[in-house]
Amino acid sequence: MQLPGRPGAARERFAALFNPQSIAVAGASASQVNAGNRFIRLLHQWNYSGDIYAIHPKAETIEGVPAFRSLGETPHPVDYAYVTIPAAHVTELIAAARGRVAFAQVMASSTPSDLFAWERDLRVAAKSAGVRLIGPNCMGTHSPRGGYTFMEGALLEPGDIGVAAQSGGLGMDILRRGQSTGLRFSGLVTLGNSIDVTPVDMLDYYLDDPETRAIGLYIEDVKDGGGFRALLDANAGAKPVVLLVGGLTKLGGAAAASHTGAMTGGSRAWEALARQTGAILTFTLDDFLETLQACAWLTPKPTTPESGIVLFGNGGGTSVLASDAVARAGFNLASMPPAALAEIAELRLPPGASVANPIDLPASVLRENQGRIAGDILEIVRQHTKPHAIIAHLNLPVIMGYRHIENFMPNLIEALLKSASGSGTTPHLVLALRSDGSEEVDAWRRTFRSAATARGVPCYDELPQAVSALSRFQGYESFIAGRLATSYSDARSRHDA
């Protein structure tokens, strides 16, 4: 995507960051282990295929890679420099690049009293040296396609979620917690104070990147509000953009100013932006990650979303509370037509089953036909009610009381996943898998979650999370449907004229 004053396709401008052919590390020690050393070790661990250079005033090698005194002395130009030296030496290091470094990410920050002058001098040095600067005050970049990450324990499996965060710690939380839910990333960049490369740049890149399906941004400060709005307008909902904005309250704004020097807009301005552009605004990290799951795996419906929901699972009280959550989110429970009830009656379910919506089936019923009965019921429901979504919930500790039945547990999850949406015309399917925290139950939940995400089904720990994520995704669907309806109306008007 290209805007005035932003020459060239964004994917080309940031290719050296996300797929670097050479990486330099400034700050690794020849005598101890620090952040720079750990980063080089991660490059080795993931078999990074490009050139690696250490920048050190005296050492000849560090962690098995050749060392050079400055960024201007490496044998070949550097695509990405990971800079962990103290703030007092960063400007001199960057100035020495002299057009030979494409991107440098600076982890350090200066003291509050010197921050303005230090960032000004650093920005001038980077511009003079032809370096695009990421940070300062950040943690690193995660790029599966480039074969590198800054975080120990991160997975480099390629994914389609692009993230930028103006917080290094929060970026690590997004990586760690996101991958535990099945999310995989096309890239994640921690931006810190964003004195050069900004959230607008990252939004531009991810919108232009064919490997990114959905975008998540943690923002404390958008200096180019006009550019940000123009990109969201140009996107027109083609890719879901999930926003987590810090500093919307008076206390949060003060914390953001202390953290990154940010000046944020108020919540009303962000709510209006989301409403007018189709971006999805969230207020907590949990909401942010849960919404990204929905955006990663659900296919938006091309028409105005219906509000009918089917609740399916075990646990009467849970179904009651889930019905309340559905109503609070603005949904309705889909009506069960007589024909559907008649077909379900022919299955001759054991006593205890309630097949009006919500469909409440004790574990003693779900065990029928070694767990396959769930698929039979959901197929009838899907054909007759045509709901907007099916939310299936399992109280796993109770379900596991029947795990002695051969293949019951695998058959049950497979029966549920048969209802997964494969297009914009079939119902969405989301799962809520409840656990008691015991290792055995959590292990089954991880197994079920892995099977679900492999089939494109979002999986949550509790029903309210599933309902909230689905509600936020429906807001995005409504925006798309409205844009399509407007385009159709405009086309008809031109035709009739």
**Sign of the four-CA dihedral 285, 287, 290, 296:** negative
Per residue in 179-188, pLDDT (tens digit) is 999 999 999 9
Select, from the ranges 107-111, 287-291, 329-333, 452-456, the one with the highest average predicted confidence (pLDDT).
287-291
Is the Cα dihedral 316, 317, 320, 321 positive or negative? negative
Q: Are residues 292 and 315 in the same domain?
A: no
Same domain (yes/no): 334, 450: yes
pLDDT score, position 67: 98
Residue 8 has pLDDT above 90, yes or no: no
Average pLDDT over residues 408-412: 94
Q: What is the pTM of this model?
A: 0.91
Range with the poorest average pLDDT among 73-77, 91-95, 243-247, 459-463: 243-247
- Check whether residue 321 and residue 289 sit in a common domain: no
Q: Would residue 17 count as lying in a domain?
A: yes
- Which residue range is the domain that position 285 belongs to? 156-297
* pLDDT score at 250: 55
- 121: domain CATH number is 3.40.50.720
pLDDT score of 15 more than 50: yes
Residue 492: inside a domain, yes or no? no
Amino acid 58 reads: K
pLDDT of residue 253 exceeding 70: no
- Percent over 70 (pLDDT), the chain: 90
Top-confidence residue, 212 or 494 = 212
pLDDT band of residue 13 (cuts 50, 70, 90) is very high
Please check whether residue 317 lies inside any domain of the structure.
yes
Residues 289 and 399 occupy one common structural domain: no
327 with 458, same domain? yes
- Are 214 and 339 within one domain? no
| Token pair recorded at residue 155 | 């997975």
Cβ 169 vs Cβ 136: under 8 Å: no
Query: Pick from 246, 272, 297: which residue ends a domain?
Result: 297
Residue 6 has pLDDT above 90, yes or no: no
CA dihedral 130, 135, 136, 137 (to 10 degrees): -170
CATH number assigned to the domain comprising residue 441: 3.40.50.261
Say yes or no to pLDDT of 55 above 60.
yes
Is 322 in the same domain as 213? Answer: no
pLDDT tier, 307 (very low <50, low <70, confident <90, very high otherwise): low
